[in-house]
Amino acid sequence: MAFIGCRDSDAPETEPVVSQDLSAILRNKKLVLLTESSSTSYFLYRAKPMGFDYEMALAFAAHLGVKLEVKVISDLNDMFEMLNRGEGDMISCNLTITPERLNYIAFSTPIDSTGVVLVQHSEENPERYVSSKEQLGKVPIVVHNFSIFRQLLDNISDNVDGLNVVPASGQTDTEDLIRQVALREIDATLADENVALLNQHYYPDLDISLPISESLPIGIAMRVNDHSLHDALDAWIELPKTQLLIRFLKKKYFDSPREQKERLESEFSSISGNRISEFDESIKKAAAIIGWDWRLLAALIYQESRFNPEALSYAGAFGLMQLMPETGARFGISPADKTDANVIAGGKYVRFLDNYWKKHIHDPQERIKFVLASYNIGPGHIMDARYIAEHLCLSPDMWDANVETGLNLKSNRLYYDLDAVKNGYCRGSSATDFVDKVLATYAHFQMIEK
């Protein structure tokens, strides 16, 4: 099992080149989180995004009344640079607050704290076992260059004879190094104590009893010039309900190792597995019929049925892909066909919709949104929405803020009574929400390798 954690490295001292602040987030109705795939920050389990940092950001976005977008970045240096370029609004990944970082980044009120410990294998041989800081020279210690761990070792090097610090290579991160210690591939590393404690439950032979630093605060990073976002986040963190949430999430992700181990070792976990559902093979076959990434089709199915083959809607839509009986019959299945045949028939219907829109929407990525909306509410209503968009001097070939706007107006008599609107009233917001949810789910599912 490979664990991936936030590499706690010091970023270059870059200055923000933009200021997007809270007003821009509210205007765009979107909060962008920069984080890493790890056992505590962000991962996928049985098609559901999870993680302490993810759930914190999701709750804050809900508090602001905006959507959350997650960008998974493997290197923290890149995160700082992306943040200062305006490609994200905040960084959260068990990130310690240090005086050095405060020179170029702002932090929220601390949401947790943790010390740094030595991670070594339990040894009966006193020649290999480190019991005090003065004995750190007994074994090579592998950490990342420019990390807080390297900085701590450099600070005590004058008091340690023979200190041998070995730079970690490539994209290997803290939890990978912990695993290497457990497998005796390396002698020792440093880690945040909360992460080390969690991993000790996976690898009982680890020894993490030697503290290297006192407790350090953990916070959420922002640009130094985003003052109103900083104020809003700090005010939210101080709320009693947020403090309750923090305690709950700490228990869920750090203090419940048995449950966390079950999640992370599952074949349906993005940390150690590569499956989204038990129907993945059927979904891959159906996606090949369409020419789609199978994870996009899986996201559609998740929104339709939550991967429940017994799902049946009040209108009679059935199975994994929630096909209506007449649509199912058109593609050769009945409500009795709930799994493989249902998915294949649904794939054929999606291909039909894709072919339908090809003559109008030539960009394949843009066409996906028209296909998804048509799957939810029918192509006739989407054609009407294109006309309404033209009526408003918007583009009939672009979805976001164009045809999407026209579809949302189809519940307004002023628009659904227009002569060129052939299919009358519909609650278009249900279809536009469906498109947004499928694409957001697809973004999460992309953590699973193709």
- The catalytic residue positions are 304
Copy the structure tokens of residue 38: 């790890």
The angle that helices 294-305 and 280-290 make with each other, rounded to 10 degrees, is 120
In the block, residue with structure tokens 């597995």: 273
Neighbours of 423 (CB within 10 A): 16
- Residues 43/62, Cβ–Cβ less than 8 Å: no
Query: Using CB atoms within 10 A of its CB, is residue 209 exposed (0-12), middle (13-18) or buried (19+)?
Result: exposed
CB burial string 237-265: b at 16+ within 10 A, e below: beeeebeebbeebbebbbeebeebbebbe
> Starting from the edge strand earliest in sequence, which strands make up the sheet with 116-121, in order?
165-167, 141-143, 188-192, 116-121, 206-207
